[in-house]
Structure 1
Amino acid sequence: MNRQELISQIKTKKSYLCVGLDSDIQKIPAHLLNAQDPIFEFNQRIIDATEKYAVSYKLNTAFYEALGTKGWESLQKTIEYLPKDVFIIADAKRGDIGNTSSQYAKAFFENLNSDAVTVAPYMGEDSVKPFLEIENKWTILLALTSNIGAQDFEMLELKNGKKLYEEVLEKSQQWGTEDNLMYVVGATKAEYIANIRKIIPNHFLLVPGVGAQGGSLEEVSKAGMTKDCGLLINSSRQIIYASKDRDFAEMAAQKAKQMQQEMALQLAVTS
């Protein structure tokens, strides 16, 4: 999915919701455990319930890889099941020397056919470039994350007076464009988003942390929204685990609809 197609979906659905399919075998409703593929069964129901409200789905690959080959099969089946008009993110946080990154890019872009993959920038340009070389695919670079450990490196002040995350934002713009490069910025860092927009005014941001982690949809939207929206706000646990009973899909739909309605209001303000 290219940039204009993504923007078109945001306008059509009046939404910039990304549903995180962080599907944990230990947290899904117990009655699904008898299914042939419990994770896929769970994902199917969540997707059917939320697709009218979401423009994107993010699959945290760790929850699938932890289950071995069966988990990988669930991941592949889920991606194949997703509607063709949604933006599919493989949240894999890869990044290695060039020839290894090339194989990661092939795995997630060619084999799984995801639209985007999250990538760690720590090893520099040659570790990121192989992902950016795939046409009509997106690299989502970790910039400023919401975990406590972000203070260890991302917030370090360099000799030039910049924070490390600011250096990552500035330097990486030389590697890709607004058409193939996004950035992860945690919703719990909303106070930094205005500054981030000074560095990357038009790139899309993938923003996790709204909901269960305490991030504010309104604050993030006010600080980060562009004329093209420029945001994908991810919500995982708040939606997919809204209920652990047989009504889990219906409850997920309610949570997704609520977020979509809030997003429609924010889009109306900037239009």
Structure 2
Amino acid sequence: MSFIDTLNAAWTRTQSLLCVGLDPEPSKFPGALKNRPDAIFDFCRAIVDATAPYASSFKPQIAYFAANRAEDQLEQLIAHIHEQHPGLPVILDAKRGDIGSTAEQYAREAFERYDADAVTVNPYMGFDSIEPYLAHEGRGVIVLCRTSNPGGSDLQFLNTDGRPLYHVVARLAAEKWNANGQLGLVVGATFPREVEVVRGIVGDMPLLIPGIGAQGGDVEATVRAGRTEGGAGMLINSSRAIIYAGKDDDFAAAAAVAAKKTRDNINLYR
């Protein structure tokens, strides 16, 4: 199935909008994993297996793997998710953005090397930097729109013909760029009013929403602002608040408790 079809099926089957972010930092791993050559894979696999009953997707952030020379462990991890938890899409959080010929290689990296179901991209260089990803049939492309970091306003709120720039990105994504029907947008939970505005522009397009948990986004405000009429349409991401919920060797069990609590809290407002 395509990314969008897989995502819709996952939302229905799991009754969850939770996306578990995988940002592995070896310095935060429990003692049992210290100095193990495959510690990143082992840590993330344990988190995935423990939280899968409560999630509808996973989002590994590529920088945490690449900085530790663990790209092979990222490949293993995504393969593990596909094999052991089929139907839960994997979004590779890479935020790529470059000219077309380079974007072709980034697309191959995301979809052929890592076999991700979707990838995050930066639209700053325009449609020709996004188009190569669309050539990979059925794969998703999630475009940065209104990000959760405070500095996002430096550019995203620039006035463009009477509209902030993030409005323009949302409208382009919904009306011109979505050639394969597999686009989504990143909109941060730290700005629920902007989530509501973007939802009004893009209709039922999926929104990847970081910013709850460690970044302090309000779950109720986020869900009420971003849900579709069917009570879905969102991949509400939590990373550190879940994967580092426990510091000891029972870290996976603690992550499961945190994931279940987050899922249930989200579902209160659907």
Which of 58, 83, 86 is the matching residue for 1:84?
86
* Inter-partner Cα distance in structure 1 for 2:67 and 2:37: 18
Map of 1:18 onto structure 2: 19
Does residue 255 of structure 1 match 2:258? Answer: yes
Does residue 98 of structure 1 match 2:100? Answer: yes
Which of 256, 264, 267 is the matching residue for 1:264?
267
* Inter-partner Cα distance in structure 1 for 2:130 and 2:217: 28
What are the superposed Cα offsets for residues 92-134 of structure 1, whole Å, 9 maximum, x if unpaired?
0101110100111011111111000000000001000001121
More helix, by proportion: 2
Aligned-residue offset at 1:30: 2.6
Aligned-residue offset at 1:177: 5.0
* Inter-partner Cα distance in structure 2 for 1:99 and 1:192: 33
1:233 is matched by which residue type in structure 2? I
1:125 is matched by which residue type in structure 2? F
What are the superposed Cα offsets for residues 126-177 of structure 1, whole Å, 9 maximum, x if unpaired?
000001121110000000011121121111112x111011111112330115
Does residue 152 of structure 1 match 2:151? Answer: no
TM-score (norm 2): 0.94
2:79 is matched by which residue type in structure 1? E
- Over aligned residue pairs, what C-alpha RMSD do you find? 1.3
Tell me if the contact between 1:178 and 1:202 (Cα under 8 Å) persists in the aligned partners.
no
Map of 2:238 onto structure 1: 235
* Inter-partner Cα distance in structure 2 for 1:39 and 1:12: 29
Map of 2:133 onto structure 1: 131
Question: Which deviates further from its counterpart, 205-214 or 29-38?
Answer: 29-38
2:249 is matched by which residue type in structure 1? R
Aligned-residue offset at 1:178: 8.0
Tell me if the contact between 1:2 and 1:179 (Cα under 8 Å) persists in the aligned partners.
no
Aligned-residue offset at 1:262: 2.3
* Inter-partner Cα distance in structure 1 for 2:252 and 2:98: 38
Map of 2:48 onto structure 1: 47
Does residue 73 of structure 1 match 2:75? Answer: no
The structure-2 alpha-carbon separation of the partners of 1:59 and 1:47, relative to structure 1 and needing over 3 Å to count, comes to same
What are the superposed Cα offsets for residues 4-53 of structure 1, whole Å, 9 maximum, x if unpaired?
33212111111011000001111121321143311111011101110111
Match runs of 1:199-210 below 5 Å = 199-210=201-212
Structure 2 unaligned blocks of 5 or more: none
* Inter-partner Cα distance in structure 2 for 1:169 and 1:182: 9
The structure-2 alpha-carbon separation of the partners of 1:232 and 1:178, relative to structure 1 and needing over 3 Å to count, comes to farther
2:76 is matched by which residue type in structure 1? K
* Inter-partner Cα distance in structure 2 for 1:60 and 1:153: 23
Question: Which deviates further from its counterpart, 107-116 or 22-31?
Answer: 22-31
Does residue 119 of structure 1 match 2:121? Answer: yes
* Inter-partner Cα distance in structure 1 for 2:233 and 2:87: 18
Match runs of 1:159-170 below 5 Å = 160-170=161-171
Tell me if the contact between 1:206 and 1:232 (Cα under 8 Å) persists in the aligned partners.
yes
Aligned length: 264
Tell me if the contact between 2:3 and 2:118 (Cα under 8 Å) persists in the aligned partners.
no
